[in-house]
Structure 1
């Protein structure tokens, strides 16, 4: 039965949370002007001019525009668009480029890539995916870094957006134009193997990779490489001015942002890997990467091997093998979840199936055109051989020759050695299938145990929900009682009284009693503040006749707390007015007075001062009335303050 090609039916309205947007800002991807555009209401991508469709989970795994030439060549050779690749496939490419530039000291090498990786379809016998329909996985016979991919990337297909790409003048130099319904064709290039010459040229690189994996005390892991390119804030899949072996630290021109806080860095690493909270995130690599401070050794080999780029024209490896998008077999539950997510609008999680639940057929050389099962992206970095659902007789060239030829002499001429090898392969295949069958039986028993555990969890969840509902009901009743009591007390204290309010039942509810006392004393405090404000408003003009009363208490307190004595200052001002008025009064009496002598007077004896007061006393009332002052009962005989 041919698989159903979902095509454009997989797309739905983008659902990007505020948490995702904040993460992109911290990573520096959205800080460039108009670098990202977020969809509004459209349910199918319609990117504006010079924009391409991308995903949040692709961007946090090292993707940015304009894209690296190596990634552009991969898309061209494999005949893919960016949305065809799963998040774990994007991370595979980011780790490979970082490995080549930072730890091998070479440009991303196409020959080395072909020795390590191959492509597979991501789907099932019933569903052929378009979004994330292709996975990149490690060849089964290659020792490579254990990347610890997550078992599933929840909901990544729904988090699409538009990313700006500069126009290089030719459409072939850019990311392929977006076509959300373009069908995925399996090509010979998906299984392209390195030639003998390429294997000889990259043997030293493979040896170095094995040393990085196995050197005791200096083992390098996929998690270390991932944390490294996130830590230095350089996107591996972006076209850059310099390779990573020239990374210059904080001043590097290719950095997108400042260093992430340790907490945020660990959160991102755990988000894109299978590490849990108990697993430590490496703070550094055990092998020191090449950089501006750790330059490449002298006479370091410069191996250049890039995948064919669009300007190079069509390549033979791109020939279509089959247009059947039938994918590798998947667990029934996983397939059901994925179909439900792709066809319906329900909020089910999109996931990438685990390698333990499925299997992968061995790599096929470009010369082998036979159809076989495909694989989808998984939580592991290795592919395994798949057990077919229906056992069929293996292709035997010897038997085929017997059937296609009626000449017995020609059949007898076939080498017996070939038949022996075919028989040995068939026996080996039968043994592997027996092992797979035994593993499937174990998995079935484990699944039965897991079902019992799920039922127990459901019961506990139901009990917890019942308890929570009862607690919410009790809380609502208590809140209603408090509101009712507060309304009652508010009506009671609307009438302002100076009598102390006595509660009828002070031990009934301490919280309600406390609220009652708080409201009562709050009224008293408000009245006291109002009276204090009125008193200060009356007192302020006396001390500061020429100033405006401050609006806030702090400014008022500063006015009344100056360095000098306000009382003394007021008395001095009054004395000054009195002296000036007296001088004016004497001048108006037309008496001849030597004012220079008056100004030179330093001291005056008390007896003389008192005699002058007694002499002026008969006219004191007239003088004070002239000055506009009320006479005091007993004039002071003390000396004036000057």
Structure 2
């Protein structure tokens, strides 16, 4: 069966993903995660492995739990080869064991419930998400409601920390993006009769949790529980979950709003479906202690919490005598791409795309060192274990050794090529440092420029206040000095524009009285200049008024048929005040008639004194 390698792309982790990881507590532990920069193909630093954001939000976290370590070790897998739904299966299983069964993750129970399948077509297995964990078709298990497809998760890859071999028992295999996935017999190995007998009580309890009316437990409830308390099931922990003590262990629960978004993201629940924020069965914890005698000692093999790798270690001495060794996955030199990849979301092993495996017959115990060997050629053929087969396996092992030697030589050449490119990498790093320094300088300059703008805006506002004696406060300040100063200046500008508009109206009304028979200027500036003339407009206005009065008086006298000596009237300087007042009194009746005819009703006013004439 061929393995097709997906084309790795530059990681595209969004700010939304970063905020979610922060809320789940990943940013509290320094160097637990590292995010890719510009690389389009994973190149993890020393002691780091490649994983995905969608793995982390389903319960994965460094340091990795020993149960998952053992599972990857026995099945010969890497983290990036598991689908997100497979990671969630393991998280739910560990939470089920610790919170609802009161036992450590149980390897014998795992074999009774789950098996491993390739993810792909009949002839092609994909490298990224090339393996899917399925529930056995004959097992009644919790409905997890996996989504049919997890969109875009392969593009959100990152590096997770992995301790050195001295600090952990089983180290996860180093990242190999092109490693060939080889099916092992451990993928479908069944529990022995002894293991079935030891786990029968646990299977009965699972059936009760799944079917008790009114207290049914579901996979979504289990998932919501470990997400709400923000404890990653696949993280190596000092204490099991049944010792969880609430706020003494974590700061606080995940907010309900964030939990609802996260559950809908990793499940197939629609907006109409309700999210179970609590379990119908109270999980074991610091406030709901285990029944006395529930947790089993580690010494019991079949029913203990030992992982797959721990079980394998117990039979290591027996495996050593058989010349069998656990082969490492060899990556093919040629890589092929695929156009469409579907993330397997099935919870049963009988899905159409999963590979059917014929279980091995006639074997009562599972020896990981023998049964985990890859079946090359005919995978479904069950050969008896005899001396001939052992010799044949030894020959195959020698061939693999030769192949590994060839790979080692190729690796040395690749290392030399990488050393040759070290200067280019250092140049890129220098350019990056220069770009960061330039960016910092630009930020400083921008900050200084903003301070200057703020100072100028505030200066304009102060000048307006001094001239108008009016100051204003913002009703809803933005909290940003630049925006608040600009808003205040806009208020002052609006006030000034309103004042100019009012002034225009006043000057337009006064203009006909000061500038008779002149056309009013169109612009406010020109109109204002007329009133700012160095000439005294008062005498001109009075002279114009006198002219109008004289003309009116002449018209009234002419209408009354009176004889007036106009030469004497023109000699204003020699006219006595009494004479002037008598003429005015004589003209008043006629002026009232004219005004009444024109529709005006003048108010009584005292007689004018002798006018001043230039």
Tell me the TM-score normalized by structure 1.
Answer: 0.52
Residue 66 of structure 1 aligns to a residue whose secondary structure is: coil
Tell me if structure 2 keeps the 8 A contact 1:139–1:362. Answer: no
Tell me if structure 2 keeps the 8 A contact 1:139–1:363. Answer: no
| 1:79 paired to 2:73 | no
Aligned match of 2:48: 51
Tell me if structure 2 keeps the 8 A contact 1:36–1:161. Answer: yes
Aligned match of 1:300: 294
Choose the corresponding residue for 2:58, options 37, 61, 68. 61
**Alpha-carbon shift at residue 101 of structure 1 (Å):** 0.1
Superposed counterparts of 1:308-457, under 5 Å: 308-309=308-309, 312=313, 342-343=337-338, 351-352=343-344, 358=352, 360=354, 364-367=358-361
Superposed counterparts of 1:203-282, under 5 Å: 203-252=200-249, 255=250, 258-282=252-276
**Alpha-carbon shift at residue 304 of structure 1 (Å):** 1.2
Q: In 2, Cα distance between the equivalents of 1:526 and 1:367?
A: 100
Residue 135 of structure 1 aligns to a residue whose secondary structure is: strand
Check 1:114–1:152 CA distance in 2 against 1; reply closer, same or farther (3 A cut): same
**Alpha-carbon shift at residue 308 of structure 1 (Å):** 3.8
Aligned match of 2:497: 524
Aligned match of 1:376: none
Aligned match of 2:159: 162
Tell me if structure 1 keeps the 8 A contact 2:147–2:345. Answer: no
Tell me if structure 1 keeps the 8 A contact 2:59–2:234. Answer: yes
Residue 23 of structure 1 aligns to a residue whose secondary structure is: helix
Q: In 1, Cα distance between the equivalents of 2:59 and 2:117?
A: 22
Number of equivalences: 363
Q: In 2, Cα distance between the equivalents of 1:242 and 1:520?
A: 67
Choose the corresponding residue for 1:196, options 171, 193, 204. 193
| 1:146 paired to 2:143 | yes
Superposed counterparts of 1:22-41, under 5 Å: 22-41=19-38
Choose the corresponding residue for 1:6, options 4, 7, 10. 4
Aligned match of 2:134: 137
Tell me, which stretches of 5 or more residues in structure 2 are unaligned? 297-302, 364-379, 382-490, 502-614
Residue 358 of structure 2 aligns to a residue whose secondary structure is: coil
Aligned match of 1:125: 122
What CA deviation, in whole Å up to 9, does each residue of 1:612-638 have, x standing for no partner? Answer: xxxxxxxxxxxxxxxxxxxxxxxxxxx
Aligned match of 2:461: none
Tell me if structure 2 keeps the 8 A contact 1:186–1:321. Answer: no
**Alpha-carbon shift at residue 294 of structure 1 (Å):** 0.7
| 1:283 paired to 2:277 | yes
Tell me if structure 2 keeps the 8 A contact 1:100–1:106. Answer: yes
Q: In 2, Cα distance between the equivalents of 1:524 and 1:323?
A: 79
Choose the corresponding residue for 1:101, options 80, 98, 101. 98
Tell me if structure 2 keeps the 8 A contact 1:156–1:350. Answer: no
Tell me the TM-score normalized by structure 2.
Answer: 0.54
Tell me, which stretches of 5 or more residues in structure 1 are unaligned? 326-338, 370-393, 396-517, 529-642
Check 1:520–1:40 CA distance in 2 against 1; reply closer, same or farther (3 A cut): closer
What CA deviation, in whole Å up to 9, does each residue of 1:551-582 have, x standing for no partner? Answer: xxxxxxxxxxxxxxxxxxxxxxxxxxxxxxxx
Q: In 2, Cα distance between the equivalents of 1:368 and 1:43?
A: 49
